[in-house]
Amino acid sequence: MMVENITYKDSGVDIEAGDKTVSYIKPLAKKTYRDEVISGIGGFSGLFKVPSGYKEPVLVASTDGVGTKLKLAFKLNKHETIGIDLVAMCVNDLICCGAEPLFFLDYFACGKLSPQQTKEVIKGIAEGCIQSNCTLLGGETAELPGFYKNNEYDLAGFAVGVVEKEEIIDGSTIKPGDILIGIESSGLHSNGYSLAQKVIFEIAKWDINYKHLKLEKSIGELLLTPTIIYTKLINVLKSKFKIKGIVNITGGGFTENIPRIFPDNISCEINLNFWKRPEIFNILQETGPIAKSEMLRTFNNGIGMVLIIDKNDEKNTISEIEKQGYKSYKIGLTVEDKTKKVFYKGGFYV
């Protein structure tokens, strides 16, 4: 019996669809190019010059994903903003040491490539790169038949930045009496989604399109709100003030993230009454119910990034943040304490 030749496409991998996707990505990527790009999308690797003007440049790298927030994109069939989240998760970590993001690489993996879906995701990644002045230098689109469900995918990102060695922000100069400034988040950002979705879909049994009386959007739309990228804001603040520490409030919330940058003799006190927590966090906590301690180590509770500054810079820093279009609050201060913990006052429903 004669057996006809089989192709890669017969096994579920469509090379032509992949080629079409790459051809769509190239012009999007070019919109993100900085002057230092030597070669970008299309080669076996991307080439990028170290920017001029640095006396002793230190390269900084970060990698991350968006976790189970992807499930909301699948349920709503909306993929335009999840790429922004991917970039944000990487570059918001980079800038915590004072680094300038330079370039970004993505990994997109699916069971069967959908060019339209992939376009939407990559469009969001390009937008995130534009927001952070970061070049989309390359990436990988992987089609893995049978590994992922139809119309589902996974994402990972990798970013590289640079900082002058003597200007690295590492928290080493933090002392008792310094001020913690909290900068608003846009919602959950990309952390705590496994717990949030358990509360919403398993405990409350709400539909993705459910509209809570206290919310302006459906629960799905609200939770899919993209993460704020703080790069440009931090660049402005660095140029005007001495920032002693920067904390990205991601997985681990306040409780685990803030002490990461403290010297051995420093802890902090945070007053939870010093800002108004967005309603979505109240709804999640009450519906769960979720203990106060769990809220504080899982979610950002309305604060996406925390700065540690000298008390004399408090008013001017908050004023400048507002000038740049963001809300911020003095949320606490550092204290002398060797436990390196966050102590809380006031606040949330227990």
Please report whether residue 2 resides in a domain: no
Q: In the prediction, which pLDDT does 115 show?
A: 87
Q: In the prediction, which pLDDT does 314 show?
A: 96
Segment 75-96 shows an average pLDDT of: 97
Instruction: Quick: pLDDT tens for 155-193.
Output: 999 999 999 999 999 999 999 999 999 999 999 999 999
Q: In the prediction, which pLDDT does 20 show?
A: 66
pLDDT beyond 70 at 243: yes
Residue 25 pLDDT level (bands cut at 50, 70, 90): confident
Instruction: Please give, one letter per residue, the 3-state secondary structure of the chain.
Output: CCCCCCCCHHHCCCHHHHHHHHHHHHHHHHCCCCCCEEECCCCCCCEECCCCCCCCEEEEEEEECCCCHHHHHHHHCCCCCHHHHHHHHHHHHHHHHCCEEEEEEEEEEECCCCHHHHHHHHHHHHHHHHHCCCEEEEEEEEECCCCCCCCCEEEEEEEEEEEEHHHCCCCCCCCCCCEEEEEECCCCCCCCHHHHHHHHHHHCCCCCCCCCCCCCCCHHHHHCCCCCCCHHHHHHHHHHCCEEEEEECCCCHHHHHHHHHCCCCEEEEEECCCCCCCHHHHHHHHHCCCCHHHHHHHCCCCEEEEEEECHHHHHHHHHHHHHCCCCEEEEEEEEECCCCCEEEECCCCC
271 and 155 part of one domain: no
Q: In the prediction, which pLDDT does 10 show?
A: 56
61 and 92 part of one domain: yes
Number of domains in the chain: 2
Q: In the prediction, which pLDDT does 350 show?
A: 45
Domain boundary among 167, 189, 217: 167
Residue 295 pLDDT level (bands cut at 50, 70, 90): very high
Q: In the prediction, which pLDDT does 262 show?
A: 97
203 and 107 part of one domain: no
228 and 270 part of one domain: yes
pLDDT beyond 60 at 7: no
Q: Rounded to two decimals, what is the model's pTM?
A: 0.93
pLDDT beyond 90 at 12: no
Domain boundary among 167, 195, 230: 167
Segment 306-317 shows an average pLDDT of: 97
- What is the percentage of the chain residues whose pLDDT exceeds 90? 85
Segment 11-37 shows an average pLDDT of: 77
78 and 151 part of one domain: yes
116 and 203 part of one domain: no
pLDDT beyond 50 at 317: yes
160 and 23 part of one domain: yes
Q: What's the domain range around 222?
A: 179-345
pLDDT beyond 70 at 88: yes
147 and 59 part of one domain: yes
CATH number of the domain at 235, please: 3.90.650.10
Please report whether residue 174 resides in a domain: no
Please report whether residue 341 resides in a domain: yes
For the ranges 32-46, 168-182, 264-278, 310-324, the lowest mean pLDDT is seen at 32-46
140 and 209 part of one domain: no
For the ranges 147-151, 319-323, 334-338, the lowest mean pLDDT is seen at 147-151
Please report whether residue 310 resides in a domain: yes
118 and 49 part of one domain: yes
Domain boundary among 142, 167, 192: 167
pLDDT beyond 70 at 13: no
Please report whether residue 172 resides in a domain: no
Segment 297-307 shows an average pLDDT of: 97
Please report whether residue 299 resides in a domain: yes
282 and 303 part of one domain: yes
Segment 240-262 shows an average pLDDT of: 96
212 and 163 part of one domain: no
Segment 130-149 shows an average pLDDT of: 93
